Structure formats: structure tokens, C-alpha cells
Structure 1
Amino acid sequence: MPNRVAMRAPVDFEGLNSASDVDNAPEVESSSESDYLDSSGARKRRRTASADDGGDSLDLDQAEDEDDSEDDEKHFQTVLSTIKAPSRIKRKTNHTQAEQEAMIQPSNPILAPTDPNTSFSRLNVRPWLVQSLANMAIKRPTGIQKGCIPEILKGRDCIGGSRTGSGKTVAFAVPILQKWAEDPSAIFGVVLTPTRELALQIYEQFKAISSPQSLKAILVTGGSDMRAQAIAMAQRPHVIIATPGRLADHIRTSGEDTICGLRRVRFVVLDEADRLLHAAGPGSMLPDVEECLSVLPPAAERQTLLFTATITPEVRALKSMPQKPGKQPVFVCEVDTQMLAIPTTLHQTHIQIPVTHKEHYLHVFLLTEANKDKTIIIFCNRTATADYLHHLLRLLDHRVTSLHSKLPQRQRIDNLARFRASAARILVATDVAARGLDIPEVSLVVNYDIPRDPDDYIHRVGRTARAGRTGESATFVGQRDVELVLAIENRVGRRMDAWEEEGVNLETRVLRDALKVVSEKKREALLEVEEGREVGGKRKRAKMKLRAE
């Protein structure tokens, strides 16, 4: 089971400026390992149980509790599943079903209008924005957009929760752009987001929606030249899209030149707020977020917008913070964030496999008639696993690329561009690709490693079945992964079906077609990974020099 770690109390939604508000709090479960970078390029991870470089297994507590009650057994039998648990693993939970539902269900949620005929014009969106959205093939607002856009235009702070692929970026970009067009000023809005790839996507969407106007937006993320970013910020852009670590670095090093412009910000957006406000573990971004917010105008002089697909206790607790003088109550709009956290058009499946042959099953699975032409994202828990799988699948003649925190920023951008352009049909990634990325062509998500946090699962599978499209997820389940799957099924309120394809027996195909060839390529891939590692940079430079000679 996941380790328990201390979590600081939620940040004041109205203030969101003071680090002193976050000292005492209950414990929460630590989440699955992710590969987020801070501004200096250092890897930030949420610690999990160790696994080998091939990602063959996850360590779980195997001690059996002799006092487990029959009620626990019956509870899980109703939720799970077609998954067969090994007899030595007892199904157990720390909470009753009612307690779990209470943690998930929001109290007094404000729901979005359900009228299917609602248009952007009826939401008081200006004609130039309506036309710009229509040019992007966005003609009808989604639930989260119907709920949030009018209230943000009224000047209210907002917490917006909606499942993945529901158009949350448009829900905050449109009102910000409309307000900016009415009163253009320098550094009108700041958008903070946890990953570089998501920041780039939001930047591109702001540019596209605002194309009829002269909006100047800049991107401030790690992996790029700080000097060029500082110059761009000094020129007072209208919107800054940033990762917290890099913007905090600019605040620390650029001094008054940077801070002066930020003191007049009218809008602050925390996209993927659950990740940004997560207070536990060495990978927490909260200190950098607090530093960024500390130089912004007081809460009464700005609008603060939080958006996420998974409403965590930290995020929901912000609604009950004391109201500041002169401010309207915080508006909360939740659309399908509880037991409908994943799209209804997503078909969830699982594949039980022996952990010693995960790569063999993956290779055969990718080549089945149903999957051989699909655009696929394969998620791993560790960068080492993602790097290894990328090498292996390339050697097996798959069109594959990768995305993880150990790659240089230029390569991350190029690899993602290749995948978007269908130059590669498979993307092997860690959780840096799990949040916010919108690639409509993705029709299958494979969980090669199961995330330890069910919310991370929701974000991963949310890369497909977006905006009403259909999609499929396939989760590889080893004999020690049963409890993780149970937790996921309880969180999403739906069980995974056993994967099947007519006329296909994966085990037979592995034994007949893949056992020898994959084992050979596996050795080659491991050698390539080892040869590519840097030891103080010397080994790699020496190899490049030899090749040049």
C-alpha cells in the first residue's frame, strides 16, 4: 500500500500568498511517481516503491492481516472485477464504501446548465471570440464552459472541476481574453501549470483564440534560456503562461523589473490545481506557487481561477475559506468530477500478464489487428522504464518516440511534435504527458505500469476519449497489482473488463511469435540504454569523439 506522508493544510484561496497558512494538516496517501521538472532542470519525483529498470513489477506490502473482516471481502466483491487475485493477496481497504463516497462526492456542488442549445453568444461572449472559436471548430460550449464563463465575466473567483477532455482551457481563456480586449493592459493574466508540455499547449490555444486581436503572450518554462525570457517579461506581455519553478526563479533573480509588472495582474489561473497545490513529498510545487503568488496583487484586486479534472480535498477546502471584503463568494462548478471522473465513451480493459514477460505481451498487443494502426500512448512510472521501452520498441520496428523528464527540452518538444504529426504512432511517456495534453488522434492508452494514485490513472486514460470521442485503455496487471486496480475501480466507480479480441490469444502469440525475438531485442535495448548513460558526461563525449574520428 502507498506510504503515508505528512500533508500541509490547504492554501487560502483568497490570500494564496502566505506560506504561513500551510503548516498543520492531516495525512494523505502519497501519489504515484511522476517526472516533473523545476526551473533548473532538476528532477522532482513523488517517491514510490522501487522497481527495476525494466519496470517489471511494483512492490506491495505482502503481509496478510489475519483480522480482515468478511465485510471487507464482500465490499470488494461488489466492485471488482474480472481480475483474479492470487490467493495469498487479501483484498482490503482502509475505508468503508460510504466513507470513500463521502470523500469523493462534493458537498453542495454547483452544476453547469444542461440546455443543449446554449451557445457562446448566450453566455455573453463577444462576437469576435465566438467567430474565433468557430474557426477552431468549437461551436457549442461544454458543461464546464457553460458554468464558468458567465461567472468569471461577472468578476467572481472560480473553482472549475470537470473530467478530462471537457474544454477547461477554453473555460478560462475566453473570459480572460474578453476582459483584456475591453481594457488592454500589460501582464493582464498569469497562468501557472505543472508541466512544460501543457504550458506550451495553453500558450498555443491563447494565441489561436486571440488571433483577431494583438494579444502578446509569452511562455516561461524550464529548459529554455532565462535571459531571453527575462527580456520578454520586461516588455510587458499581456499573458504569461509559466511553470511555477521557472517563474519563481525569475522573481528571485530578476528583481524589481519582473515584480513590478506582476503587481498589476488582473487574472491568475492555476491549471491542474490539484497538482500545483499538492503539499506532500519532495516533488511538491506548492512552495514555488506560493512564491509566484506572493508578488501578485492582493486577492481583492485580482480574480483567481482554479481548474482541475480531479477535485482533491486541498482544492475543495478552498471554497470554505473566509470571504474577503469586497469579493463575491467563490463560484464552484463541478461537472462529472465524482463517480464520472472518466469519460463515458472510454472502454476500460485490463490484461493479466506474467511480470517477467511484460515486454513480450506489449509487443504482441501492439500488433493485433485492432491495435496495429492506432495512435497509442504507453505510460510508465519511471523514466528508466520509458527510456528502455522506447529503445526496445524501436528495435522491434515500431514507429515510436518518448517523452520524459530526462530528455533535453528541445528533444521533448520535437518528440511531441513528431507524435502530434503522426510521424510516430506510439508515445512512451511518464506522467509528464498525463495532464492536459490534447491529441485527438490518440485512441488507446496503455498503462504498462499501474499508477499508485487513482487520480493519476484518471489523468492518464483521459488522454483518449476526449470531447465526446471514443477511446480505450488497457492496463497491464501483474500478480502484485491487484490492490492498485481495486483502488482505481473504487475511485472511478466502474470496473475494468478483461481485454479480448476475436481470434486473438496473447499467450499463444507470445509463445509462438515473440518469445525469441523480443528476448534478443531486449538485450540489445538494455545495452543501448547502458551505452547512452552519461558518467559525468565523459562517456558520451568520448563516444561522440570516436565516431567523429
Structure 2
Amino acid sequence: MTLSPKVAQSSKRDAPGRKATKKHTNSPFGGMNVTSAGIRHHGPRRSRQQELRTSRGRGKDKEDQKPRTFKALKMQRSLASVSYGKRSAVKSKISEVDAFDNFPLLPVVKDSISSQALKGLDIILPTPIQRVAIPSLLGIENGRANFKSSKKKDTEQFLLAAETGSGKTLAYLLPTIDAIKRAEIKDTERVREEVVAREEKSKRAVFELESPPLHEPHPTTGRPRAIILLPTSELVAQTGSLVKSFAHTVKYRSALISSSFSGVVIRNRLFSPSGIDILVSTPHLLASIAESDPNILSRVTHLIIDEADSLLDRSFSPLTAAIIEKASPSLRQLIFCSATIPRSLDNHLRSRFPDIRRLVTPNLHAIPRRVQLGVVDVERDPYRGNKDLACADSVWSIGRAATEHFDDGAKERVGVKRILVFVNQREKTAELAAYLVSKGIDAMALNRDAGGARQGDVLAAFTGVGAEASGGEEKGGTEEGKVTVSPVYSEKDRKGPRATNRTLPNTKVLVTTDLGSRGIDTLAVRHVILYDVPHTTIDFIHRLGRTGRMGRRGRGIVLVGRHDRKDVVKEVREGMFKGQALI
């Protein structure tokens, strides 16, 4: 084979002054022998600095040159936005209510707030969500409540959305109890009228024989007036205890059922001969009972879907929808309650309940500014990528602040520090708890593998006012978001868990997943450690919402490793500092 003599000659298309022909790229071989990319025929890519210079020369607005906020969070945008105009309107509405006396509740219900729900507090004032929700749920119009319920009206639909620890449970429970007591009063009057009419009839018919009385069960047996649905048995126990505390003074019949109880206990509580007014349950259990006995939903007037973002997701939505459908004939109020409004929940409510009234607070989707968030870079010394060591070191730095040292070397226990550590994987809870125990820390693991009784015992030490940790704020703040802690362990402690003689007796640690971040009233917790960076903004809000509840201060620490989203953590911190709502 020999080369053609025309090889060295330039082609006619490369001749000077001749326009280059466009190469066809539609064929399978159109991209061969190409020396420049020419993607979409846009030419070479320009740098950001060149684009800014060009935009300045063309006189573009300065707003286009500024970096957009929440750039990283927009990649995982999952929360529905609430306009600032609506937030301002809610603020002006909140300012008009300053006490529980402004609500037209029954006197017995109003007196039970201080004696049962908010026992031990000197100053009792309604929270923002309570100021917004209670008047609407009571049906206050033009300053007066409308209690005319003689005729059947359409079902009222509400969405209660407020930040974590803002008293949403009390916001829907007070109007529900008030409606039950008013309905009970009307039922008593109707029964009294029937008795009087029966006596008058017997007086007129002197010679007629009366049939012997039948021993029938109570008409409300297995037919509650109000149902509260919650996703987990832990939340059922927590909300059920508050419902039962009101029953001591308001006098109504309540029951809580979940998978933590046996079948005999569930049957005795639900079908009690004395009747039932309020039922607290999980969707799985109630749906299975209603499948065999639909009569339990025949008298429901108030249905509360608490933690609605969970109960309307993929796993719970079919069961929740079935319960709503079966209870709809007698339903008067359908209440959804949540700390966040994900876009999936927002779209579902708009399509399924277009007439729903949204009752939100001005600080929705914003982590309270009283919660301080610090960042620990795990890749730096002395940790060098060991997150377990960084977690143990953070716990020790918090625990040492709970003990005062005197001149003679003696120690006085000031209070017990309760710390929640959140991980993303269930298997990591037991592993991390064992590591912390090996470092002299009183740590426990909470996950779905533990039984119901075990979960209740573990959470009992971290919930309730009685377990509230005392002691002042920690000294030594943060700089640029970095937590300044002095290393507790030496370099040889990095390799793994090792028995130690040092102990931290004034600190309790609970390692858990999102199981402990939803709705649990961790009033005693002042510190939260995020071992893993949360996947979404919703998880950030729920996990950091375990501290700083009811106006108290709190502190969160996030451990950031090499493969974690540092940009997301940075934007969350900036949003918290500015008091902005996350997206």
C-alpha cells in the first residue's frame, strides 16, 4: 500500500477565505476526529469571574451578582414556603391574646390548665400556636364562640404547624376536651328529657305493664368521641399521660392503646363497660380493629392526626386515609398537626383537602435562636477522622461543666447533664453506646430492636419536668462556629474502645436515631450531638428541636467528617443566626 500524492496538499475547505462547512453529528460516527468539544455549540466555558466582568460592563443589576442564600439547601428543597406577609399577619393576631382567660373555654377546663398540664410553673401564658389555634378550633367568630351544634355541619379541616416544643399538643387538646364536655352536657339534658317523658307516659298508662329493664352496655362502649393518632407507641404513652392528667379534674373517660400492650389490655380499655370519650392510638392498631369492628368509628366527632408529616407518608398514608374515610360521616373536626410542612405533605393536603385552614406560627421552619449550634471538624487533631473519639470528647467537655471543684479538691454534684446523640443508622446506636461506655460515660442505645418496656424505661430519664437538668450555661463559647474543647484522650486512645478507670457520673447519654426526634418532650435535654449530618432540613429541625424547648436555652454540636456536606451545615448555621426559615 502506498500513500496518495495528495496527502501533503491542503484541502479546499481549509483554504483561506473559505467558510468552514458544518460537520454533521447526527450519525453514529459524527463525533470522530474532533479536536474541540463544542458542547451544544456554545463554545468554550467561561469562568465565573469573566461572567461577572461581562455583567458589570452590560450594566446588570447588582442583585444578580450577589450569591444566593441557601444554595446548598436548595439542592434538597423539601419544605413548603410560608410567605412573610402571612407571618406578619399572624404576629399581629398573636399580640391580641395574652392569657388563657381570653379563650371561651369551660371553667373546669380553664382551671385544669394550671393544675394539671402546666403544673409547677409560676407564669402561665399561651404559646404562639395556642394563641392562633385555640380560637379557630373553638369556632370564635367576631370575638364570640359559636357552639350551635344542633345541625350537622360540614367537617372543619385544620392544619396546625409550629416549631418543635411550642405546645401543639395542648393547642388541639384543650378545644377537643371542651367540645367533648359540651356534648356531654347536651347528652345529659337529652337523657333527662327522655326520662321525664317516659315517667309522664307511665303515669298516663296506669294499667299497662312495663317491660323489665335490660342490662345493656354503656352506649359509648367502644365508641369514642375523639381519636388522637400518633406514629409510635412512645408518643402514645406521652400524649396519653397528658390526656389522663386532664381527666382527673375535667372528668371524662380516656384510654391509650398501642403495640406495647397485650390484646386483653387493649380490649378491656377500648370496650370498657363505663364507656370511652378520648382514644389515643397508632394507625396500624386502630385500622386493624376498625377492619373487624367498624362501629368504633361511628361516633367520632374529632380526629387528630398528630405528626402528620409521618402519618401521611408512604408507609402510614393508606391506613390513615382509611380511618379518615370511615370516620367521615360523623366527623366534625379533622385536625392535622406537624412541626414541619414538607412539600409532599403540602401537595397531598392541597389535592385531598383543598378547603383546609392553615394555622401556622411566624417562626415555622426556623430553628430557635436560643439554640446554639457548634461544629467539630473530625479530620483535625486530635481526632484525625475518628468520629467516635470526637463524640466521646464532646460528651466529656459537657459533663465536666456540671461539676464544681473546690479548693480542697472535693467535688459537689450540681446536676445531671442529659445529652442526646443522633445517628443515621440503627446499627450504629449500640456500637457507639458501647464505645462511650468503654470511655467511662453512662450511655444507652435506643432503637427499634429494643422492646416497648425497654424503650419506655430509657426515655423516662430524658423526658418530663422532673428530670430537668440543672446547672448554668457552659463557659467558653464558639468562634466561627467551631467548638473549642480540650482533648480528654491521648493519641493512643484513637485506635478503638479501651477500658478506662475514669468515669463521668454526672452525665447521661442516649444514642438514638430519628425514633427519639419526633414529638418526644425532652424537656430535660439541654445538649444534642449530631454524630451524622442529617440527610434533610426536616431532620435538622426535628433533631435540634429536642433542645431549647419551652423557651429554654440549648446547645447543639454537629460532627463533620471528610464526606459530610459542610456547605449544608454552614447554611443551617447562618439561617439559625439570622433567624430565617429554612427551606
What TM-score does the superposition give when structure 1 sets the normalisation length?
A: 0.66
Unaligned segments of structure 2, at least 5 residues: 1-43, 53-63, 140-154, 185-219, 403-416, 468-505, 579-583
Render the CA deviation track for 1:84-132: whole Å, top value 9, x for unaligned: xxxxxxx867659xxx699423597472622276211212122222221
**Aligned pairs (5 A) from 1:2-401:** 70=48, 79=69, 103-106=80-83, 109=86, 111=90, 113-115=93-95, 118-135=98-115, 136-137=118-119, 139-154=124-139, 156-184=156-184, 186-235=223-272, 236-252=275-291, 255-256=292-293, 259-279=294-314, 284-298=315-329, 301-317=331-347, 320-321=350-351, 329-338=355-364, 341-354=366-379, 356-368=385-397, 372-373=401-402, 374-401=417-444
**Separation in structure 2 between the aligned mates of residue 108 and residue 118 of structure 1, nearest angstrom:** 22
> Which protein is bigger by CA-based radius of gyration?
2
Render the CA deviation track for 1:14-33: whole Å, top value 9, x for unaligned: xxxxxxxxxxxxxxxxxxxx
**Separation in structure 2 between the aligned mates of residue 102 and residue 461 of structure 1, nearest angstrom:** 16
**Separation in structure 2 between the aligned mates of residue 240 and residue 417 of structure 1, nearest angstrom:** 22
The alignment partner of 2:279 has SS state of: strand
The alignment partner of 1:171 has SS state of: helix
Which of 546, 552, 558 aligns to 1:463? It is 546
Q: Is the 8 A contact 1:269 1:305 kept in 2?
A: yes
Q: Specify whether residues 448 and 77 from structure 1 end up closer, same or farther in structure 2 by C-alpha distance, changes over 3 A only.
A: farther
Which of 558, 568, 571 aligns to 1:489? It is 571
The worse-fitting range, judged by mean Cα deviation, of 224-233 and 167-176 is 224-233
Q: Is the 8 A contact 2:163 2:363 kept in 1?
A: yes
Amino acid in structure 2 at the alignment position of 1:190 = I
Q: Is the 8 A contact 2:462 2:523 kept in 1?
A: no
**Separation in structure 1 between the aligned mates of residue 323 and residue 343 of structure 2, nearest angstrom:** 22
Unaligned segments of structure 1, at least 5 residues: 1-65, 81-90, 497-549
Give the superposition deviation at 1:240: 1.2
The alignment partner of 2:547 has SS state of: coil
> Which residue of the partner structure matches residue 443 of structure 1?
526
**Separation in structure 1 between the aligned mates of residue 174 and residue 348 of structure 2, nearest angstrom:** 24
**Separation in structure 1 between the aligned mates of residue 352 and residue 288 of structure 2, nearest angstrom:** 31
Q: Specify whether residues 303 and 76 from structure 1 end up closer, same or farther in structure 2 by C-alpha distance, changes over 3 A only.
A: farther
**Separation in structure 1 between the aligned mates of residue 508 and residue 350 of structure 2, nearest angstrom:** 45
Render the CA deviation track for 1:135-175: whole Å, top value 9, x for unaligned: 22462111111111111111842111110111000000000
Tell me how many residue pairs correspond in the alignment: 403
Render the CA deviation track for 1:353-404: whole Å, top value 9, x for unaligned: 0374111111111111576533211111122111112222223221222321
Amino acid in structure 1 at the alignment position of 2:356 = V
Q: Specify whether residues 305 and 383 from structure 1 end up closer, same or farther in structure 2 by C-alpha distance, changes over 3 A only.
A: same
**Separation in structure 2 between the aligned mates of residue 432 and residue 315 of structure 1, nearest angstrom:** 20
> Which residue of the partner structure matches residue 529 of structure 1?
none
Q: Is the 8 A contact 1:222 1:245 kept in 2?
A: no
The alignment partner of 2:94 has SS state of: coil
**Separation in structure 2 between the aligned mates of residue 260 and residue 129 of structure 1, nearest angstrom:** 29
The one of the two structures with greater contact order (alpha-carbon pairs below 8 A, sep at least 6) is 1
Give the superposition deviation at 1:458: 0.4
Amino acid in structure 1 at the alignment position of 2:397 = T
Give the superposition deviation at 1:435: 1.1
The alignment partner of 1:450 has SS state of: coil
